[in-house]
Amino acid sequence: MNHNRLARRALGAYTIVFYIALYGPMLVLALLSFNDSDITGLPFKGWTFRWYATAFSSRALMEALVNSFGVGVLAALAGTMLALLLALAFRRQIRFQGLIFNLVLLPVIIPGIVGGIVLLIFFGYLGIPPGLYTTVLLAHINWVLPFAFLTLYPRVHAFDRALEEAAMDLGARPLQVMRRVVLPVLAPALLATVMFSFTLSFDEFVRTLFVTGFDATVPIAFWNLVVLQLAPFLPAMAMIITVISIAASLLGFVFTRNSRAADPSHRIA
């Protein structure tokens, strides 16, 4: 009895410490973003929204946001599309299946800084001019693809092939089967993959730093601001970026859940 209660208390205390370690720094940052003080850091001198106003009026941040959204959306779409094709191909017996599978996942375990250097050398060798929609986009697709594949592969693998056979039996040619059955049924999983991929691209820093020329994505712009000036609006900016990332991921999780109970209200026109 006593022993049990003690164990439960210890577990409770551990849980509290665990969550503080996990979310404490984030909470401090959130607090600082509202701190009415010209110096970044404690003590807390009262509530204000002015740092958010400053952040949103910062040209550097706005440009970076536009850049990050552009690259993020394109990289997410391209990565998801490639991952889908790959996952579809993997449903058949193909040669060197295991090898290809591991090669696709390799970028996940390559250290970011090595990945950045490799990409820099690679693009230089090919003569691709550094820029947002050239080197950065390619680097992001490269980075996002394995994760998109890992998200999508189980869903595509679990897809009931009898559905495709039924569609074919009812007169649909392969492309019609894809458009009218496979894609609609996989739509929630595809949307989830796009959202997760976007988050990954949005947060990518090390590889981007190596391959971007003068264009700045959000993490790059943030880095520049931290290095050049420890501006008091940095916590507010950090909060904005975090909220965008979390929102995209949450949407992804919502779609993931929906893909388990496929949306019945959807109709083809």
Interface ranges with another protein (CB under 8 A): 160, 162-163, 165-173, 176, 180-181, 184-185, 187, 261-268
The three-point CA angle 58-63-64 to 5° equals 100
Q: Choose between 11 and 166: whose C-beta lies nearer to another protein.
A: 166
Q: Choose between 38 and 169: whose C-beta lies nearer to another protein.
A: 169
User: Do residues 212 and 220 make contact, with C-beta atoms less than 8 angstroms apart?
Assistant: yes
Query: How near is the Cβ of 182 to another protein at its closest, in Å?
Result: 10
Q: Beta-strand (E) ranges in the chain?
A: none
Q: Choose between 20 and 166: whose C-beta lies nearer to another protein.
A: 166
Compute the distance between CA of residue 111 and CA of residue 127 in angstroms, rounded to an integer: 24
Query: How near is the Cβ of 264 to another protein at its closest, in Å?
Result: 3
Compute the distance between CA of residue 72 and CA of residue 150 in angstroms, rounded to an integer: 18
Query: How near is the Cβ of 168 to another protein at its closest, in Å?
Result: 4
Query: How near is the Cβ of 151 to another protein at its closest, in Å?
Result: 20
User: Do residues 140 and 204 make contact, with C-beta atoms less than 8 angstroms apart?
Assistant: yes
Q: Choose between 129 and 171: whose C-beta lies nearer to another protein.
A: 171
Which ranges of 170-213 would DSSP assign to H, the alpha helix? 174-177, 183-203, 206-211
- How many angstroms separate the most distant Cα atoms in the chain? 72
Q: Choose between 57 and 176: whose C-beta lies nearer to another protein.
A: 176
For residues 168-203, one letter each, b for 16 or more C-beta atoms within 10 angstroms of the residue's C-beta and e for the rest, the string is eeeebeeeebbeebbebbbbbbbbbbbbbbbbbbbb
Query: How near is the Cβ of 111 to another protein at its closest, in Å?
Result: 42
Query: How near is the Cβ of 266 to another protein at its closest, in Å?
Result: 5
Compute the distance between CA of residue 30 and CA of residue 236 in angstroms, rounded to an integer: 7
Backbone dihedral region of 116: left (phi > 0), alpha (psi from -120 to 50 degrees) or beta? Answer: alpha
Q: Choose between 103 and 163: whose C-beta lies nearer to another protein.
A: 163
